[in-house]
Chain A
Amino acid sequence: MSIRSEVITQINRVASEQDKRLAPLSDSLALLDSGLDSLCLAIVVARLEDELGIDPFSTAEEAGPPVTLGEFIRLYEDAAK
């Protein structure tokens, strides 16, 4: 499974568990408009760490938080390189 599809899978899973209605997912979608709140995003990050073994938010040189879904996915793709 690609990193992109794993991220999308986890977002859908958490939305379903937390009873959140997701906006149509696209790279330009702002995370804050996705239907997931910050706690749900924290769960997505924790699950992705388990699935991919990557946590781009724990590195010392982390940049500002990603604004869009595309930026969020890119963060994981870059960390996997």
Chain B
Amino acid sequence: MRNVLVTGGSRGLGLGIARKLAGAEYRVIALARKESEPLAAALREAETAHPGSLHFFACDLGQIEELGGIVKTLRKKFGPIYGLVNNAGMSFDGTLPLMPTAQIEQLVRVNTISPMVLTKYVVRHMMADGGGRIVNIASITGFTGYSGLSVYSATKAALIGFTRSLAREAGRMGVNVNAVAPGFVDTEMTQSLGEEGRERIVRRSALRRMAEVEDVANAVEFLLSCKSKNITGTVLTVDAGSTA
């Protein structure tokens, strides 16, 4: 089984991605600070359906200086890493003029610096091992505006730029690097939108609905599979046509 790391794999999109990949013959290691109840349930299910396909590794990805050691430990425990899904992220809803500077720094640290540094430690082993796949979870807010999410959007736009350039850099060593840009998906992170906000998104989308966690997980599975071997440096938008 090929090893795939999924950051933020204990809930929301990350958990959905981890479950999908565990059912697709990967050995998934979900990285998160704590094992949530839904993840514990997914671990139990996976152990019955596909033994050894889903694991939990506790770590705080915001501790940038620890990331090199984490990758070393994971390689020692599980072996070479084939795939990395940089999904972990946080969002503070609020207008920029009132946002505390510490929150701005935290958003950039968790959403941008952490995945970049984690990728640094993973990609060089992928290159040494002859290849691998990296999928960065961006957002449609990285290329379209949404009031109240200026800093979050900037961190996601940064991931898109990172994706394109790293694809150029690591391509000749057999590493594909892509991004998935979900639209507004019904998860904990979008709870703050409220019923009215959700209705507005549905009304404005081409398909008159919101994308689901399953749709994003399918896109990630595709980008890790051999079916996408000639796709790199691109952004796959999964938003039910919100930005069409």
Query: Are B173 and A60 in contact (CB-based, < 8 A)?
Result: no
Q: Please give, as numbers and ranges, the residues of chain A lying within 8 Å of B125 by CB-CB distance.
A: 46, 49-50
- Select one of B68, B69, B121, B169 contacting A39, CB under 8 A: B169
Residue of B nearest to A60 (CB): B65
Distance in angstroms between the alpha carbons of A60 and B117 in the assembled complex:
13
Query: Are A46 and B65 in contact (CB-based, < 8 A)?
Result: no
Distance in angstroms between the alpha carbons of A50 and B170 in the assembled complex:
20
- Select one of A43, A49, A60 contacting B72, CB under 8 A: A49
A33 to chain B, nearest CB (A): 21
Cβ of A55 < 8 Å from any Cβ of B? yes
Residue of B nearest to A17 (CB): B130
Q: Please give, as numbers and ranges, the residues of chain A lying within 8 Å of B173 by CB-CB distance.
A: 39, 43
- Select one of A42, A47, A58 contacting B68, CB under 8 A: A58
- Select one of B65, B121, B128 contacting A43, CB under 8 A: B128
What is the 8 Å Cβ interface bit string for chain A, positions 36-73, against chain B (1 contact, 0 not)? 00010011011101100001001010000000000000
Query: Are A58 and B169 in contact (CB-based, < 8 A)?
Result: no
Majority-rule SS of A interface residues: helix
Majority-rule SS of B interface residues: helix
- Select one of B69, B72, B127, B172 contacting A42, CB under 8 A: B127
The A-B contact count (CB < 8 A) is 28
Chain A interface bracket (under 10, 10 to 19, 20 to 34, 35 or more): 10 to 19
Q: Please give, as numbers and ranges, the residues of chain A lying within 8 Å of B169 by CB-CB distance.
A: 39
Q: Please give, as numbers and ranges, the residues of chain A lying within 8 Å of B127 by CB-CB distance.
A: 39, 42-43, 46
Q: Please give, as numbers and ranges, the residues of chain A lying within 8 Å of B229 by CB-CB distance.
A: none
Residue of B nearest to A10 (CB): B128
B173 to chain A, nearest CB (A): 6
Q: Please give, as numbers and ranges, the residues of chain B lying within 8 Å of A46 by CB-CB distance.
A: 124-125, 127-128
B239 to chain A, nearest CB (A): 34
Q: Please give, as numbers and ranges, the residues of chain B lying within 8 Å of A39 by CB-CB distance.
A: 127, 169-170, 172-173
Distance in angstroms between the alpha carbons of A46 and B121 in the assembled complex:
9
Query: Are A47 and B121 in contact (CB-based, < 8 A)?
Result: no
Q: Please give, as numbers and ranges, the residues of chain A lying within 8 Å of B65 by CB-CB distance.
A: 60
Q: A47-B128, A49-B125 are in contact. List 14 more A-B contacts (CB 8 A).
A: A39-B169, A39-B172, A39-B173, A42-B127, A42-B128, A43-B173, A45-B124, A46-B124, A46-B125, A46-B128, A49-B72, A55-B68, A58-B69, A58-B121
Rank and list the top 4 A-B pairs by shortest CB-CB distance, nearest first: A58-B68, A46-B128, A46-B124, A43-B128
Instruction: Please report B residues at the A interface, Cβ cutoff 8 Å.
Output: 65, 68-69, 72, 121, 124-125, 127-128, 169-170, 172-173
24 cross-chain CB contacts under 8 A: A39-B127, A39-B169, A39-B170, A39-B172, A39-B173, A42-B124, A42-B128, A43-B124, A43-B127, A43-B173, A46-B124, A46-B125, A46-B127, A46-B128, A47-B128, A49-B72, A49-B125, A50-B125, A50-B128, A55-B68, A55-B72, A58-B68, A58-B121, A60-B65
